[in-house]
Amino acid sequence: MIAIIDYGMGNLGSVQKALAFLGYSSEITDDPKKVMDADGVVLPGVGAIGAAMEALTSKGLDKVVHEYIATGKPFLGICLGMQMLFDSSEESFGGEPVKGLSVLPGKVVRFPSDMGLKIPQIGWNSLSSRNEILPDGQYVYFVHSYYCVPEREEDIAATVEYGIEYCCSVKRENVFACQFHPEKSGEAGLRILDRWAKKTK
């Protein structure tokens, strides 16, 4: 069973429907025991990182994420779920930068405002892949105003061009995460989800 972490925000239903379409059993839950017992875990997310981190922490799920990753079982972060894995975000919450989970070293920054880019980035873009889970050149769907800057080059699984080249996916040991939404990315996204979910069997 794959656990989809429910902290009161995120695209939970669409992720579950995509996994079900692929033939994988999943459960949306905020129960720490169910998360720890799962064969794979998804941390989804849509919205502001400050509110998301506050919700995750208030349920004690921040500690559960660390404990689960330490088991070595497959873990997937999607969109905001990827951003929360880093040390901090410059997206303000209560006038202060937001502290992340520090699973991966690095920070989250806003797209530059002086390049004429439409912010948020909304739409399809093609991947430059460095990892076997991701199909190189495939188009996937993005909705975000901030992007991740990993400290370690070797953590970068894929990049994409949007005025600048930036990291849109990371992979380290059992942790895989993507800024784009595989559950909204058609056949290419389903293939990515399937390649990850196969590791839960």
Active site residues: 79, 181, 183
Helix ranges (DSSP H) in the chain: 12-21, 32-37, 49-58, 61-70, 80-83, 186-197
Give the separation between CA 166 and CA 156, rounded to whole angstroms: 10
φ, ψ of residue 154 in degrees (nearest 5): -70, -10
Beta strands in 30-155 (DSSP E): 40-43, 75-78, 88-93, 96-99, 106-110, 121-126, 128-129, 139-144, 146-150
**Locus of tokens 């196969």:** 198
If you search the block for the tokens 């079900």, which residue do you land on?
Answer: 20
- Find the DSSP H helices in 22-171: 32-37, 49-58, 61-70, 80-83
